[in-house]
Structure 1
Amino acid sequence: MTEPQADATGPAIAEAAPELFEGKAESGWTRMAMLAVVAGAYIAFGSIAYLVAQAGPPGGATQLLSGLAFSVGLMLTMVTGAELFTGNTMFVLAVDRHRLTAGRMLTAWVVVWFGNLIGSVVIAVLFVTAGGGSGVEGLVGDSAVKVATSKVTKDTLALIASGVLANMLVCLAVWMAMAAKSVPSKIIAVIGPVTVFVAAGFEHSIANQSLLAMGWLLQDGGAITGGAIARNLALSTFGNILGGMAVAMMLGRAQLDE
């Protein structure tokens, strides 16, 4: 696969992106599924870091620190080449360029989404079993329940809009990281957009897989039910798809059609 050079400009990234996305979508199902499980675990580690930061005093500084802490999840994903559903929503650009069929894209999305779910839930269960909720004198567990409750009680339009915004920022981070040839440059590309989306409280479906699982496991009765979790994941996933497609088409198609 052709990769953009380290000093790639926007058009150069757009030119290389369809082939990169095609290669990812056309990889073997077993490899794809395994890398998706790994990515789910990485994002769950970011969720844990986020909850630890959330145990601090409320305020804008804590929100920004929480976003910075969570960014470790996408850093791990980008540096190791794992498969993350939200970034893969940009496969639509490869479909638009006739390098990938819509059927293959949709199947890859399903495989990666459920692989991410497995990795997310495994880490969430291990974290709770290890006593992670008792961290910072129990404030980590309190934060997990509070965050999860706020997510499952959002109204429909808020969840979808929040999902769009979250994945626009995530895909911008991925787009920039695609041009990076070194580990430090990939990390720098990820930090800003991820910090913003997390600090703002936007809805990232894969992060929610672990955050909602931890909140559900740590709650002592409450609003975090199986149905509420499914609703959040369905609506945030829909919003994420729209956000990822928007970034791919705006940055990719606009520059390729010049």
Structure 2
Amino acid sequence: MAEMSEKYNTKCPGVKRLMREALELAEATEEYCARPLEDNLFEWHFTVQGPKGTDFEGGIYHGRILLPKEYPMHPPHIILLTPNGRFEVNKKICLSISGHHPETWQPSWSIRTALLALIAFMPTPAEGTIGSLDYTPEERKVLAKKSKTWVCSQCGEIASLLSSTAAKPITEEEKTVLNQIAFKGEEQTPKPPVELVQEVETQSLESTEPSTGFLDQLTEILVALLVGAIGIFIYRRWNHFTASDTEL
């Protein structure tokens, strides 16, 4: 941290906040650990344990957290590197606590909050959201076993990064925050009720009927005028030839 103090402006709110969080997360736990890269305070690597009682139990998953210079006013981007069957690897995850949803981010949230939210979201349905996968339970369990031997090019074997130390209990405030995140997390555009869709479709059909009838009437009128014009032309030509024959 001393090197970080020399490299970055410690008076900057974002730097001050990240250095404080780095101290708070300095000791690894059995559930998660996270620390900044040695040469970049704004990129962190993290490791989380798969939630117990789920398809991810026993798995160890590693990823990156990319923090904007405006942190904590702007949210971080979260990227998983270990194949897991829930989130695409090397792709920014779409959560209300990530950079995909800056409108729902709150400066009071932290990297620990992001890690807790990520763990909570692993067993939830993918529902086609950005960066999500919907592998079968069997596939996820196989990946959970393989994850124990996964190696990060910068952090080494991820299985050794976690410890046996119990994580700090989740506070009531954090529970409230996680519930909010869980509610808003992977929002999609809400689908209208079936009744509303049917009503809209009925209205659309009804609204097109008068237009179709008008076009049919217009077509009939044009055809009638065209036939009439042709009839007049033929009649005049016939009269012209008749008059010529009479003169002769």
TM-score of the superposed pair, with normalisation by structure 1: 0.24
Higher relative contact order (CA 8 A, sep 6+): 1
Q: Which has the higher strand share?
A: 2
